[in-house]
Structure 1
Amino acid sequence: MLILFELSPNCNKMLIHALNIGQKKLVEWRGKKIYTGIFKSPVTHPIILGFNDVVGDDVVDRKYHGGIDKACYAYSKEAYGFWQKKYPAHTLENGFFGENITIEGLDESKMKIGDRFEIGTAIIEVSQPRQPCFKLGIRFGSQKILKPFIQAPYPGAYFRVIQSGTIHMGHQFKLIQSFESEPTLLEVYQVIYHTTTSAALQKKVLQSKYLAQSAKDSIKI
């Protein structure tokens, strides 16, 4: 069932806390030099959301990053407090998790696949949660971060860009489309990483119309 919103009571408090851009960086991984775009820093100017990436942001490995289903990655401002407490030796500034948008009020247990938002002059649609790779470990300085990241309820959100546009810090998210039948980001995350054994939830996720195909393909039942 399609639900259209003028303003959602759950999502109208979501707003852009920070915008983050990165340039490719040469790092060492298992004795080899590789480039990564995960090192991002806050910017004060507006950014443009393109259909395949954020304009001016380096995407290095386009097999796994960027593209229609991963044009933009967002992470929760509130999750930073959780990770800072867990890893006090790190200084976790906006963009640390490789996100283009740090969102105040992002809740993965409520945000659904296929949810569509107006933000600035852009329209974006939730496509999947993050599936962390070794480059997050490089950012943290240890691959040991991957297991707790998978276990935590903060995967963040990837978006498709339905309408390219410009966004600014402080812009609010306006939810304009949602489907009751679609799973939440957290439900998808739990199914992908087998932190749930619910057959009904597995079926719901696999039947999702809006979940990125690459995420579906990674699900092993």
Structure 2
Amino acid sequence: MNTLTTTIGRLFAGGTGYLDNEGHRSGIFKREIFDRVRVDSQGILGDEHADKRVHGGPEKAVHQYAEQNYCKIAQAFPRSASLLVPGSLGENISAPTFSEKNVHIGDIFGVGTAVFQVSQPRSPCWKINHRFGEERMSVYVAQEWITGWYYRVLVPGEIRAGDTMTMLERQTDRFSIEQFWQVQLSHRPSLDDLAALIAVPGLAPEWKRRLEERTKWLRALLDKVT
């Protein structure tokens, strides 16, 4: 296994803003952070989320988005190309080389003086569409499996742009973020694939619950057929 290493290119955090004239508040609007910042179990100190039912908390403490994905989205949505820059999808960390293809569920990274663990992919929502005025951007991001991912913070510490991110431990060689979506978005994934994904150490409890429910539904469906 090759050790994944990169450097934080840019770091983002901040308060909430309004997406449109209807007054939808969102934490997708981040400002760039140049100083060293504290990170604890809730995320970067000073970062905010408008809807805490689905954003933030220990299992979504820090969000990273693959820098190279912006070029792909810009090609699909050329009208918004000038706006598609690191930080514009609401991520906290932008860094080269890490992507949904090589970052795996449960991966543990040393980041500055902190330690992070990949807990789950991001599930893109309608707020991306409203942010850019593009009806199907969130669908495109989901279908292309270029969603980004979340970390939980195992060891609080301090981080800043320029800090190295080094993989300390890998829990599964099988389930990258991309491979997670390949199973999750399959019309009828195999029960073996679901069981293997559920068993990955570090997968967020909410995703384990959802995958277990899907497993039960598929088993019931197969029992009816047989």
Shorter-chain TM range is 0.7 to 0.9
Query: 1-side partners of 2:208 and 2:131: how far apart?
Result: 26
2:31 is aligned, of 31, 35, 41, to 41
Indicate how the Cα distance of structure 1 residues 50 and 182 shifts in structure 2: closer, same or farther if over 3 A, else same. farther
**Matching of residue 75 in structure 1 with residue 65 in structure 2:** yes
Contact 1:42 1:94 in 2 (8 A): no
Alignment of 1:20-59 (within 5 A): 20-28=12-20, 32-59=22-49
**Is contact 1:115–1:177 with CA below 8 Å preserved after alignment?**
yes
- Equivalent pair of 2:17/2:26 in contact (CA under 8 Å): yes
Gap regions ≥5 residues in structure 2: 219-226
The equivalent residue for 1:105 is 97
Q: Which has the larger radius of gyration?
A: 2
Q: Could you say which structure has the higher helix fraction?
A: 2
Q: Which runs of 5+ in 1 are unaligned?
A: 1-7
- Listed one character per residue, the Cα deviations across residues 1-48 of structure 1 (whole Å, up to 9, x for unaligned) are xxxxxxx73412x2211111232112347xx42211111232322232
Q: 1:63 aligns with which of 41, 53, 59?
A: 53
- 1:77 to partner: Cα distance: 1.0
Matched, 1:11 2:11: no
- Partner AA of 1:94 in structure 2: P
Give the TM-score, by structure 2 length.
0.84
Q: Is this contact kept in 2: 1:182–1:204, CA < 8 A? A: no
Q: What CA RMSD, in Å, does the superposition of the two structures yield over aligned residues?
A: 2.1
Provide TM-score, normalisation by structure 1: 0.86
% identical aligned pairs: 27
Q: Which of 110, 115, 124 pairs up with 1:123?
A: 115
Report the counterpart of residue 168 of structure 1 in structure 2.
160
CA shift, 1:144, in A, is 1.0
**How many residue pairs align between the two structures?**
211
Once residues 187 and 158 of structure 2 are traced to their aligned partners in structure 1, the CA distance between those partners, rounded to angstroms, is 37
SS of residue paired to 2:192 = helix
Structure 1 distance, partners of 2:19, 2:88, is 16
The 8 Å contact of residues 101 and 176 in structure 2, kept in 1 or not, is answered as yes
